[in-house]
Amino acid sequence: MIKQPVSVELDTLFRGARTQNGWLDRPVADELLHSLYDLAKYGPTSMNTSPARFVFLRTPEAKARLLPALAPGNVEKTRAAPVCVIVAHDHRFYDHLTKLFPHRADAHTMFEGKADLIKSTAFRNGTLQGAYLIVAARALGMDCGPMSGFDDQKINDEFFPEGDIKVNFLCNIGYGDPGKVLERLPRLSLQEACQFL
């Protein structure tokens, strides 16, 4: 018999969790952010490539560097959030494969010089890791507000000028203001989204 997860845990991670648009004036300790990464890093990626790079913007000065790149609707909620994470991916991820995937001696050379493979692997697996970060934050009692709505080039120029790391998405993290949560939107049904072959 398959043991089912406790419903409260599923509610915390999925059914009861909401995208946050407003934030309580409650700080997030650096130790909790360390725990967040230490949990999220265990999510699987292909060949353990682990290309995600996370920049945790915690101070008004750090966030001030980001705000000019944001769409107008994202500025105030990002300014108010205790933390805004730049979820990015490193196109030089394969430099770490001798450590991260020692089973294959040729892991590094599988990618070196193959721009399309590097780009797709970094983006795909970095996106997975960004999703793991959201689930881990919820598991640790925090709320999340993932966002698009920014100028990629401005963020890359400001935070990753060397060019190997590219922004994927942003995620505000903290403790959400329940009064600013939007009505839950519908999701596609099983029949609309899935095939069983």
- What pLDDT score does 111 carry? 95
CB atoms closer than 10 angstroms to residue 160: 17
The Cα–Cα gap between 20 and 81 comes to 10
Q: Examine the pLDDT at 1 and tell me if it is beyond 60.
A: no
Query: What is the average pLDDT value for the chain, to the nearest integer?
Result: 95
Which of the 8 DSSP states describes residue 176?
B
CB atoms closer than 10 angstroms to residue 100: 15
143-147, strands of its sheet edge to edge: 52-57, 83-90, 165-174, 143-147
Which residue's entry shows tokens 């769409």? 71
* pLDDT tens column, 134-152: 999 999 999 999 999 999 9
Q: Examine the pLDDT at 52 and tell me if it is beyond 70.
A: yes
> Which domains does the chain possess?
7-178 (3.40.109.10)
Q: Which two tokens stand for residue 16?
A: 């009861």
Rounded average pLDDT over 41-61: 98
Rounded average pLDDT over 151-168: 98
pTM of the model: 0.93
Amino acid at 169: F
Which residue's entry shows tokens 């995620």? 171
Structural element, H or E, at residue 152: helix 152-159
